[in-house]
Amino acid sequence: MGRHSRSLRLCTRRHLFELELLDYDSWYYIFQKLNSIIDQDSFGLTCSTFRRIQNSTSRKSLKIRCSIGHTIVDSFIINKLLSRHATKLETLTLGGCVRGCQHITYSCLTPLLKYGSTLHSLYLDHCGSITDTELQLVASACRLLSVISLAYTRISDDGLKVLSKSCKFLEELNLRACDYISDHGIFYLNQNCRQLRALRIRGCYNIGGAGFRDCSPTLACLEAFDIQLEPYMGVSHIVSGGGLEYLSLGLSFFNGNRLSTNFLLDPIGLGFGSKLKYLNISASRVDDGVILKISRGCPLLQEWNLTFCGGIEISGWESIGLYCQNLETLHVAGCDIHLCEKGLVSIGAGCKRLSLLFIDEEFSWNDDLTSLQRQGVEIKFQESWNDVPSWAFKTLENERGH
């Protein structure tokens, strides 16, 4: 028995040595030729290398940086990686370097023509070489896309037009810092992608809001910062679909007086924002009239960010307490000028579901704040400008994963 065991060990060592003579790609090729599930499982049980090969064929998500060590990623490397994982691949991230990536060019995207048909999510953030030409290739290769992130790329309205016509199932799009996008591009998205659920635009200074006119009621989540909203009509177009549940507006860039800013936000409380659960209008120059309209017109609000909205006086806080019965989180840091004891009393008495309050530390001595704490409200003495809930954007999850 001992002789047989010794012979078996020698045989095993010899075969392991022979296995090492073949490279990874050769074994991957052999694995692809195994038609039986049982054979594939047995292959994966042989050793850790074979297990990695087996696992790689079932991956649904793949991230490829613009460089691997000292090697710059090119079309050959991308093609090689995609060929290994393409069977069930649904999510692909290319580039993603915060400092910017100029290496993801047209040739790097050509493998998508062969392997992109199963993709549902594509992330090309910070790929500064991506223009309309590259986007047209993506649109023709990945027609099943539901999520695409193009933050900090050089695409324009023409690219969005092609994308919106080819990818009819788009549900979420990130256009942060896409300087060449205007209302024309937004119009193409709204007209052609009638399943669009979430859109992020920031630093797109050519967008005034007209592109949202008669937008799809499926648009539920919108983040719009540093855009040149049209006075009076900008927000009116944005909420025209009536389906928004999440709305975050950065109005500090708007160069109007308080009267025009109030008119700008009026449409939110006039019926079109009735489904809103989250609203961020931090640093806005609003008064009690707008707060009253929004409080009455948005009965489903669960979180409201009013950080540095210093124009709200006592009647505004009373409106929140009276009408915002579903409010769970309220941001009021920077509103200390008029947020007096009566304001806190009104909020505490009316907002029975309130569980989290962001406020200035100078209120820590306030007896009414202590009373709120006794009611189970968590108090955080800090500013929170844009605390986005996890349900709003899939592209945000990818950013956090970097």
Confidence of residue 73 (pLDDT cuts 50, 70, 90): confident
Reading the block at residue 106, the tokens are: 């047209």
Residue 42 confidence (pLDDT): 63
Residue 16 has pLDDT above 60, yes or no: no
For the stretch 144-160, pLDDT in tens is 999 999 999 999 999 99
Q: Is the CB of residue 222 less than 8 Å from the CB of residue 196?
A: no
Alpha helices in 123-201 (DSSP H): 132-141, 157-166, 183-192
Pairing of strands 356-358, 329-331: parallel
What is the C-alpha to C-alpha distance for residues 399 and 402, in angstroms, rounded to an integer? 5
What residues contact residue 101 under an 8 Å CB cut-off, 6+ apart?
66, 95, 126, 127, 128, 129
Residue with tokens 């078996």: 8
Q: Tell me: pLDDT of 117 over 50.
A: yes
**Which of 104-113, 200-209, 355-364 comes out lowest in average pLDDT?**
355-364
If you average pLDDT over residues 300-314, what whole number do you get? 93
- pLDDT tens-digit map of 149-208: 999 999 999 999 999 999 999 999 999 999 999 999 999 999 999 999 999 999 998 999
Find tokens 């306030």 and name the residue: 366
8 A C-beta contact, residue 334 and residue 307 = yes
Residue 337 pLDDT class (50, 70, 90 cuts) = low
Residue 133 confidence (pLDDT): 97
Tokens of 184: 């024309």
Terminal CA-CA length for the chain: 56
Handedness of CA 60, 66, 68, 71 (dihedral sign): positive
Name which of 145, 131, 65 is nearest 100 in CA terms.
65
| The two structure tokens encoding residue 286 | 């609003």
Half-sphere exposure (Cβ direction) of 216: Cα atoms closer than 13 Å: 22
Q: Strand ranges (DSSP E) for 211-292?
A: 221-225, 246-250, 278-280
234-258: b (≥16 Cβ within 10 Å) or e: bbbbbbbbebbbbbbbbbeebeeee
Q: How far apart are CA 299 and CA 327, in angstroms?
A: 9
What is the rounded average pLDDT of the residues 43-69? 65
pLDDT at 104: 87
> 14: exposed, middle or buried (C-beta count within 10 Å: 0-12, 13-18, 19+)?
exposed
Express each pLDDT in 373-389 by its tens digit: 878 899 998 888 777 88
Average pLDDT over residues 117-126: 94
Burial of 37 (0-12, 13-18, 19+ CB in 10 A): exposed
Q: Whole-prediction pTM value?
A: 0.82
Alpha carbon separation from 249 to 85, 278, 298 (Å, rounded): 39, 11, 16
